[in-house]
Amino acid sequence: MSTGLFILILFVLAGLAPFTRRYLGNTAGWVFALFPFGGFIYYLSLLPAVNTGQLIMESHAWLPVYGIDFSFYIDGFSILFSLIVLGIGTFILVYAGYYMRPYPMKGRFMGYLVFFMASMQGVVVSGNLITMFVFWELTSISSYLLIGYHHEKPEARSAALQALLITGFGGLALLGGFVLMAIPYGTYELQAMFANPDAIRNSGLYLPALLLILAGAFTKSAQFPFHFWLPGAMAAPSPVSAFLHSATMVKAGVFLLARLNPVMGGTELWYVLLSAFGAVTMVAGAWLSITQTDLKRILAYTTVSALGTLVLLIGTGTEYAINAMIIFLVVHALYKGTLFMMAGNIEKMSGTRDITKLGGLYAYMPKAALIMGLALVSMAGIPPLLGFIGKELIYEAKVYAPSWRYLVVVASFFTNVVLVFLSLRLWLDVFGGKTPAYSKKPAEPSLALIIGPLFLVLASLVMGLFPATIATPLTSAAVISVSPTIGAIKLKIWHGFNLVLGLSALTVLCGVLVYKYKEAVIGFANKVNLRYFTREFAQLFSAGIEYFLLITKAQTKNIQHGYHRFYLMTIFVVASILVWSIIWRSDPLVLELDFSDMPLNLVAVVVLIVTAALSAVATHSRIIALIATGVIGFGITIIFIAFSGVDLAITMVMVEVLMVIMAVAVLYHLPRYVKYSATGARMRDGLVAGLVGGFMMVLVLQAGTSQLEEPISEFFKEMSYSEAFGRNIVNVILVDFRALDTLGEITVIAIAALGIFSMIKLAREQSQIKKN
Amino acid sequence: MESVILQIAARHMRPLLIILSLVVLYRGHNEPGGGFIGGLMLGAAFILYAMGFGVKKTQESIFFSPVTMTAVGLLVALASGIPALFAGHIFMTGEWVTFFQGSAMELKLGTPLLFDLGVYFAVAGMLTLVMFSIMEE
Amino acid sequence: MLILLAVLIGVLYGSAVYLLLRRNIFKLVLGLIFLGHATNLLLFVASGLTSGYPAFVRGLAGETGKMADPLPQALILTAIVIGLGVTAFALVLVYRFYSVTKTVDLDELSENE
C-alpha cells in the first residue's frame, strides 16, 4: 500500500458515502472507521524505519513541466500527524455514525468527514508545496461544508461562510507565499528546500514569502486577530468540532509552520512574529474562555489558546520548545478530542450544553464523568497524564527562553491557571453540584459514543505513565524533522524538585483558588469585556463584509448600468483610443494613388456599396435599410468574384438572398422605425463610428502592404491534389485539411438552429397554455 | 401568400434545385461548389416550396423533419472521421477508395465526400428549420 | 485598388458601429450583419488581392503557380455561413423580444427593470 493510493481510497470512500448509508444502516460508522484504522496501522508500521532516520518518498507525475507533482514526503513529523489524524479519525467516525442518527443526510455528513480526513492526510504527507496547497484548500472546503451542515440555521451558514472567507483568504496568501518561496529553488519540492535552507533566507524574497505564509498559517490556526471564526465554527455538530476544530484542521497552520521551520525558521523575524502572535493568542484565548457558558465555546477558546501556545513554541525554537511543541500537540489532540466528544454526549443526553444549566450529572452517567475527568486532568496538566509532561516541558521551554523570559513565563502561567480553573469548572459544575430540571432524564451514553473518548484518554494515560518507552519513540523522529539541529529529549514524568515543578504547583493552587472565587472572577472578566470589547470580532468582520458588499453593489450599478449601447460605446471608445495612439506613434503610411489598377466597374461597385451603407444608416424606412443591406451583400459578392473568390461569391449570393428573406419575414411583425435618439446623441455616435471606421481603414492599408510570414497556403496548394485528390483547394481545406474546424462550425449552426426552433416552439406552447 | 405563379414555379423548381444542389455538392471537390453551397441550395428549394404551399404542406411532402436533417448531417460528418481510425490514422484523416481503376468510368470516393455530405445536410436542415420556424407564425 | 477597398471597409465598420449604438433593436441586428460583412471583406483584402486566378490546381505535381490564397477564403466561407446562423438567431430573438415586451426600444427594457 502506498500513501497516494490510501488517500485516493479515502476520497473514493467519501464520494460513495452518501450511497452506502442505505446498505450499512447504523453500522456505517464502524465500517467507515476501518479505513482510517488501516491507515493508522500502516503508518505505525513505518515508524521504526523512520525512527532510524529513513525518509519515505513517493511521487506521481501531475504537471512535471511546472515542477508540480503529487509527491509525498514522509518523515517522523508526517507520521506523528498522520497517526493523530487517522487515530482520532477512526474514533470520530464511530462516534459520528451513532451521534448523527437523529439528523437528516447522515450519509453525506459521513462523506464530508471522510473527505476532510483524506484532505488532511494529504496535507501532512505532501512533499510538494503545490500539492500541499491543494489539500490545504480542500480541508477549508470540507470545513465549510461541515460547519454549515445545519444549513437551515442562519447562524450555521454565516459561521461557515466566515470560516471559509478567512481560511480562504489565508489560503490565497499561502499560495502566493509558496510561489515566492519556490523561486530561489526552482522547484516546489520540500526535499530540495530542506537540502539547502539558506537559499530562501538569503534571497530578497524571504520577507514577502514569510509574511504570506504566516497569513495562511495564522488564519488557518485561528491566531489572534483571526481567531473568531473558530468559536463560530462550533455551530457544527460535535464530531466536527472534536475532529476538525480541535484536533486536526486548525493544527494545519501549526503543522505548516513546523514543517517549514527548517527552511523559513531560525531568523530574528520568524522568532519575533511567531512569539508575538502566539503569546497574544494564547493569553487572549484563555481570557475569553473565562466568561463563556456554552461548553463547546469554552473548549473552542481554550483551543485558540492552545494553538497560540503551539505557535509560540515554534517561534521560540529552542530544544525544549520544539520538544514541548511536539508533546503538547499530541496532548492537546488527545484531551481536546475527548472533551469535544464528551460535550456532544452531554448535550445529547441532557438536552443542553449551557454550563449554568448543568449539574449533578455524575449520578446519571458515572462512566462518562470518569472519562471526562481524566481528560480534564490532562488539560490541567496534573500527573500522571501526558498533559503533565507537556505542561512541564512548556514551562521549561519558557523559563529557558532566549529573551522576554519573564513576559512569556507570566503569560503562560496565566494561561495554565485558566486551564486549571476551567478543568475544575467543567467537571464540578457539570457532574457535581445541584441537579437542575432537565428536559429529559439524562442517561449513560452508549458504547459507540464513549469508546472514542475512552481510548483517547487511555492513550494519554499510558503515554503519561510510560513516557520513555511509549511516548518518546512516537515523538522523537518528529522533533528531529521539525528542527534537525537539535535532539529529542527523553521524556520522563519526574524531573525532580526544581523551579518548573514549583511553578506547576503554584499554577494548580491558583487555579483552585480562582475556582473558589469563580463568581467574582467571572463577574470581573465580564465587566472588563463589556467595557473594552463591546463588539465581538465576529460582528466586526460581518459588518466589514456587509460594507464591502454595499460598495461593490453600488459599484456594479455604476458600471453595469444596463444600457447596451453604452457598454458597446465603452468598448469602441477604448479601442479607438488605443489603436489611434498606436497609429499616431507608428511610421506614417505612404500611399500612392494609382488610378491604373482601379477598373471603372469596380469603382462603381465600391461607390454603390458605400452609398448603400450610408443610406442604410440614414434612412427612416426599414425596407430601405433592408434593401441597402442586400445591396451591400451583392456588392461584396462582386468584389469576391473580381478577386478570385469563386466559392465565396456563390455562397455569398445564396446567403444574401436567404438573409433578406428571413429579415423580411421577421420585419413583417415589427413596428416602424421611430426616432429615438436626439440629434446630439446621433452626432456623438457618429463620431465614435467615424473613429472606429477610420482606424479600421488605416489597419487595412497597413495590413495590405505588409506580410510578416510566409503563408501556409503553399502547403495546401502542393498537397491539395496529390494527397487529398481535390482541385478546388478551398473545398479541400474545408472538408479535409481543416475538417475538424468545419465540423465545429456545422455544430454551431445546428445549435443556432435548435435555439431558434426552441424559441419559437416555446413561445407557441406558452401562448397555447394561455389560451386554454 | 397563395400565388399561383409561385406555386407552379415552386413545384417545378424544387426537383431541379435538389438535383442541382447534388451536382454542386459532388463537383465541389474539383470545381466551384461543395457542401455549403449545395446545402444552401437544398434549403432554398424547400423554402421556395414552403413560400408557395405553406410550411405544413412542405413538411408533409418531405419524409423527415428539418431537425432530423440537421442531426443526420452532423452525424454523417462525424462518422466520416471514423474510417480513418480503422486504418490506423488520426481521426478525420481522408481515406479514399477508387472504383473501376484505369477505366473511363474511374470513380474516386473518399471520406471527405462523405463529410461534405454531412455539411450539406446540416446546412440545409438548419436553413429549413429556421425558415419554417419563422414562417409558421 | 487597396485604398478604395480600405475606404470601403472603413465605411462598413463605421456604419456597423453607428447601427450598433442605436436604441432600436432591429438596427442592432443590421449592425451585426454589417459587422460581419466588413470583417469578411477585411480578411479577404488582408490576404492580398489576386484577380483572375482562383485557387484551383490542375493536378500536376509540384504546382505552385500564382493564385489567390485559399486559406482565407476557406475561413471566410465558414464565417459567412456562421454569420447566417447568427443573424437568423438574432432575428428570431428580436422577433421574440418584440412579441414579449411590445417594444423595440432597448432603453425601455432597462428602465422597466
Question: What pLDDT digit, counting tens, does each position of B94-111 carry?
Answer: 777 776 666 666 666 788
Compute CA A112 distance to the chain's CA centroid, rounded to the nearest angstrom.
Answer: 15
Domain map of chain A by residue range? 604-674, 712-772
C92 touches chain B (CB under 8 A): yes
Contacts of A713 in chain C (CB under 8 A): 55, 69-71
Strands A56-63 and B107-110: unpaired
CB distance A598–C82 less than 8 Å? no
Compute CA A726 distance to the chain's CA centroid, rounded to the nearest angstrom.
Answer: 56
How far is Cα A170 from Cα A229, in angstroms, rounded to an integer?
Answer: 13
Would the ipTM clear 0.90, i.e. be above it?
Answer: yes
How far is Cα A458 from Cα C57, in angstroms, rounded to an integer?
Answer: 89
Cβ–Cβ under 8 Å, residues A73 and A126: yes
How far is Cα A589 from Cα A570, in angstroms, rounded to an integer?
Answer: 28
The string of DSSP codes covering B93-128 is ---EEEESTTSTT-EEEEHHHHHHHHHHHHHHHHHH
Among the listed ranges A356-370, A418-432, A513-527, C61-75, which one has the minimum average pLDDT value?
C61-75
Residue among B43, B30, B104 nearest B70 (CA): B43
Contacts of C51 in chain A (CB under 8 A): 642-644
Assign C113 a pLDDT band (cuts: 50, 70, 90).
very low
Contacts of A658 in chain B (CB under 8 A): 40, 43-44, 47, 127, 131
A486's grid cell: 537539535
Residue type, A234: M
Residue position matching grid coordinates 514569502: A209
Residue position matching grid coordinates 455604476: A558
Compute CA C108 distance to the chain's CA centroid, rounded to the nearest angstrom.
Answer: 28
Residue A453 has a CB neighbour count (10 Å cut-off) of: 29
Q: Which helix (H) or strand (E) holds A63?
A: strand A56-63
Among the listed ranges A7-21, A187-201, A394-408, which one has the minimum average pLDDT value?
A394-408
How far is Cα A399 from Cα A488, in angstroms, rounded to an integer?
Answer: 18
Average pLDDT over residues C62-71: 73
How far is Cα B50 from Cα B62, in angstroms, rounded to an integer?
Answer: 11
For A433-436, the CB contacts below 8 A with 24+ separation are A433/A359, A433/A360, A434/A359, A434/A360, A435/A359, A435/A360, A435/A361, A435/A363, A436/A357, A436/A358, A436/A359, A436/A360
* Min Cα–Cα distance to chain B from C99, Å: 12
* Integer Rg of chain A from CA: 36
> Does the pLDDT at position C50 exceed 50?
yes
Q: Between A629, A644, A704, which is nearest C46 by CB?
A: A704
Cβ–Cβ under 8 Å, residues A321 and A390: no
How far is Cα A7 from Cα A630, in angstroms, rounded to an integer?
Answer: 65
Neighbours of chain A (3+ CB pairs under 8 A): B, C
* Min Cα–Cα distance to chain A from C66, Å: 10
Residue among A159, A327, A166 nearest A253 (CA): A166
Helix A679-704 crosses helix C25-46 at what angle (to 10 degrees)?
20
- pLDDT in the model for residue A351: 82
* Min Cα–Cα distance to chain C from B2, Å: 24
Residue type, A552: T
- pLDDT in the model for residue A534: 60
Average pLDDT over residues A4-14: 88
Smallest CA–CA distance from B125 into chain C, residue: C85
Among the listed ranges A496-510, A668-682, C48-62, which one has the minimum average pLDDT value?
C48-62
> Does the pLDDT at position A194 exceed 50?
yes
**Top-ranked range on mean pLDDT: pick from A492-496, A638-642, B87-91:** A638-642
Residue length of chain A: 772
Cβ–Cβ under 8 Å, residues A7 and A118: yes
HSE-up of residue A429 (Cα within 13 Å, Cβ side): 19
Residue B110 pairs in a beta bridge with B96
Model confidence pLDDT, tens digit, residues A147-175: 888 888 888 888 888 889 889 999 999 99
Average pLDDT over residues A720-744: 82
CB distance C92–B31 less than 8 Å? no
Look up the domain containing B82 and give its range: 4-136
Q: Cα–Cα distances in Å, from A503 out to A381, A398, A420?
A: 12, 11, 13
Residue A177 or B27, more confident: A177
Write down the number of H helices and E strands in chain A.
31, 2
Neighbours of chain B (3+ CB pairs under 8 A): A, C
Average pLDDT over residues A222-238: 85
Smallest CA–CA distance from B29 into chain C, residue: C56
What DSSP character marks residue A247? Answer: I
> Does the pLDDT at position A511 exceed 60?
yes
The sign of the CA dihedral A268, A269, A270, A276 is positive
> Does the pLDDT at position A740 exceed 90?
no
**Could you give the residue ranges of the DSSP H alpha helices within chain B?**
4-27, 35-53, 55-61, 66-79, 82-86, 111-136
Q: A1 exposed, middle or buried (CB, 10 Å; 0-12, 13-18, 19+)?
A: exposed
Give the percent of chain C with pLDDT over 90. 35
Instruction: Enter the pTM of the model.
Output: 0.67
A648's grid cell: 465565396
Model confidence pLDDT, tens digit, residues A258-274: 999 888 888 888 888 99
Contacts of B130 in chain C (CB under 8 A): 88, 92
User: SS3 for C9?
Assistant: helix
Cβ–Cβ under 8 Å, residues B47 and B127: yes
How far is Cα A124 from Cα A708, in angstroms, rounded to an integer?
Answer: 54
Smallest CA–CA distance from A650 into chain C, residue: C77
How far is Cα A18 from Cα A12, in angstroms, rounded to an integer?
Answer: 11
How far is Cα A283 from Cα A277, in angstroms, rounded to an integer?
Answer: 10
- pLDDT in the model for residue A735: 84
Q: Between A677, A696, A752, which is nearest C88 by CB?
A: A752
Average pLDDT over residues A662-669: 86
Residue among A208, A217, A374, A183 nearest A307 (CA): A217
- pLDDT in the model for residue A630: 92
A756 touches chain C (CB under 8 A): yes
Give the percent of chain A with pLDDT over 70. 98
Q: Is the peptide bond before A225 cis (omega within 30 degrees of 0)?
A: yes
Model confidence pLDDT, tens digit, residues A93-116: 888 888 888 887 788 888 899 999
- Give the class (CATH, top level) of C2-50+69-111: mainly alpha
> Does the pLDDT at position A1 exceed 60?
no
How far is Cα A688 from Cα A569, in angstroms, rounded to an integer?
Answer: 8
Angle formed at CA A293 by CA A287 and CA A298, multiple of 5 degrees:
50
Among the listed ranges A161-175, A468-482, A540-554, which one has the minimum average pLDDT value?
A468-482
User: SS3 for A1?
Assistant: coil
Residue A267, phi then psi, degrees to nearest 5 = -100, 165
Interface of A with C in 5-24 (CB under 8 A): none
Model confidence pLDDT, tens digit, residues A180-191: 998 888 888 888
Among the listed ranges A317-326, A391-400, A646-655, A740-749, which one has the minimum average pLDDT value?
A391-400
Q: B119 exposed, middle or buried (CB, 10 Å; 0-12, 13-18, 19+)?
A: buried
> Does the pLDDT at position A700 exceed 90?
no
What DSSP character marks residue B97? Answer: E
Among the listed ranges A236-245, A354-363, A720-729, B40-49, which one has the minimum average pLDDT value?
A720-729
Torsion angle, alpha carbons of A19, A21, A24, A29, to 10: 120
Assign C61 a pLDDT band (cuts: 50, 70, 90).
low
Assign C16 a pLDDT band (cuts: 50, 70, 90).
very high
